Amino acid sequence: MAEPALAVISNSKALLKDIQAAAQEVEGLKKERKAINQRIQAVREGLEAKGIDKKAFDDVMKYFAANLADRDGYEDSRKMVHEALSEIQEDLFTKKGDEE
């Protein structure tokens, strides 16, 4: 009978070292990602301090990062959703107690 795969793997010192190295690399990358995310947040907050809405900035960045076909589909859908919701916005988004 063949030895179970896990037993073979656990006996491989080289593979165990590879796993350890991979874990250390992933942890290092997570730290780098955290630092990068903090820098991105600082840039966004700098724009917000100048009056630019962070969400609007993010949305337009995502829009321009998309390929042209995706942008066209997005624009067509956005226009249709805008038209549909503009007809019912008061009923849909008025919160209880906000009525005049």
Look at the chain and report how many structural domains it folds into: 2
Q: Are residues 75 and 89 in the same domain?
A: yes
pLDDT for 13-29, tens place per residue? 888 999 999 999 999 99
Mean of the per-residue pLDDT values of the chain: 88
Q: Are residues 36 and 60 in the same domain?
A: no
Which range of residues forms the domain containing residue 41?
13-52
Q: Are residues 36 and 67 in the same domain?
A: no
Q: Is residue 80 part of a domain?
A: yes
Residue 47 has a CB neighbour count (10 Å cut-off) of 13
Beta strands in 26-66, from DSSP E residues, in sequence order: none
Predicted local distance difference test score (pLDDT) of residue 2:
58
The conformation of residue 66, written as its DSSP 8-state character, comes to S
Gyration radius of the chain over CA positions:
26
Q: Is residue 6 part of a domain?
A: no
Place of tokens 């700098």: 46
